[in-house]
């Protein structure tokens, strides 16, 4: 059953972003792809660097989250497309991410949601977020587990 859940998660991600983004130069063993969490904070850095883009975001309690995404050419190909100027320090955004297994403040990016409510998909194989998040955000859920338990 555990394997099926893993496969379902990755399959959902592939359906939304394609196989290219499942590929990377490293595995995603450190990310818990069965969990999807929602956070809001202030961008400290949007690093549009090879081999992976990264978002560093500080939450209200002062915690700095390090969130990794796909490679720049992959992220540019998404809709909406992203580049190094899409997000800037000081900007408030929300994210859906798959956390590190060990509980440190970091993980794999699923979505970035700007103040206008636009969903960006900078993810690679580290996180295949549910397409239901658009609805779940409106309903105020802060994790996939919470949203699914309520339904």
Partner 1 sequence: MKNMVNKLVHSAIMLLFSTLLQAQPGPRAQLPDVVPPPQRFATSTGHYEYLYNSHNGGTSHSYDSVPKWEGLWSAQGNNSGNQLFLESLDGSPIGPFGEGENVVIKEGVLTPEYEAAFQYRRDLGVDYDRLTSCEPAGMPRWLLEPYVREFINTPSQSWWTNDLANDTRRIYINQEHKNIDGTHYAAGDSIGFWVDDMLIVHTVDIYPSDYFRGTPPTSNQFETVEVWRMETLNNGTKRLVNNVTFYDELSLVEPITVVYTFWPRQDLQALGFRMRYWECAQNDNTYLTFDDEGRPSTQYRLPGEDGYVDPRGNDRLRNPDLPAGLVGQEKSPIFNDDVQ
Q: Name the residue among 28, 29, 9 with its Cα closest to residue 145.
A: 9
Site string for partner 1, 85-124 (x = CB under 8 A): ---xx----------x---xxx------------------
Cis peptide bond N-terminal to 27, omega within 30: no
Which residue number, 56 or 146, has a Cβ lying nearer to partner 1? Answer: 56
Which parts of 77-137 are beta strand (E)? 92-99, 106-113, 119-120
Distance, in Å, from the CA atom of 69 to the CA atom of 47, rounded to the nearest integer, reads 10
Specify whether the CB–CB gap between 8 and 111 falls below 8 A.
no
- Is position 79 an interface residue for partner 1 (rule: CB under 8 A)? no
User: Contact region for partner 1 (CB under 8 A) — 66-74, 112-120, 127-135, 139-147?
Assistant: 66-74
Q: How far is the CB of 57 from partner 1 (least distance, A)?
A: 10
Q: How far is the CB of 114 from partner 1 (least distance, A)?
A: 17
Burial of 63 (0-12, 13-18, 19+ CB in 10 A): exposed
Count residues near partner 1 (CB under 8 A): 50
Alpha-carbon torsion (14, 66, 62, 113), positive or negative: negative
User: Contact region for partner 1 (CB under 8 A) — 5-13, 34-42, 114-122, 135-143?
Assistant: 5-13
Q: How far is the CB of 60 from partner 1 (least distance, A)?
A: 17
Q: How big is the chain, counted in residues?
A: 151
Residues that bind partner 1 (CB under 8 A): 1, 3-4, 7-8, 11, 14-15, 18-20, 22-31, 43-47, 49-52, 54, 56, 64, 66, 68, 71-74, 76-77, 81, 83-84, 88-89, 100, 104-106
């Amino acid at each position: 059953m555990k394997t099926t859940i893993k496969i379902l998660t990755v399959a959902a991600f592939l359906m939304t972003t394609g196989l290219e983004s499942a590929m990377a130069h490293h595995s995603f063993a450190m990310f818990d792809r069965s969990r999807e969490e929602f956070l809001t904070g202030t961008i400290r850095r949007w690093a549009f660097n090879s081999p992976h883009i990264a978002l560093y975001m500080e939450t209200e309690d002062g915690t700095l989250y390090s969130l990794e995404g796909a490679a720049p050419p992959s992220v540019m190909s998404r809709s909406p497309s992203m580049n190094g100027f899409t997000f800037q320090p000081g900007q408030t955004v929300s994210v859906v991410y798959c956390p590190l297994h060990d509980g440190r403040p970091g993980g794999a990016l699923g979505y970035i949601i700007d103040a206008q409510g636009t969903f960006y998909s900078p993810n690679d194989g580290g996180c295949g977020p549910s397409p239901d998040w658009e609805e779940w955000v409106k309903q105020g859920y802060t994790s996939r587990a919470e949203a699914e338990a309520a339904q």
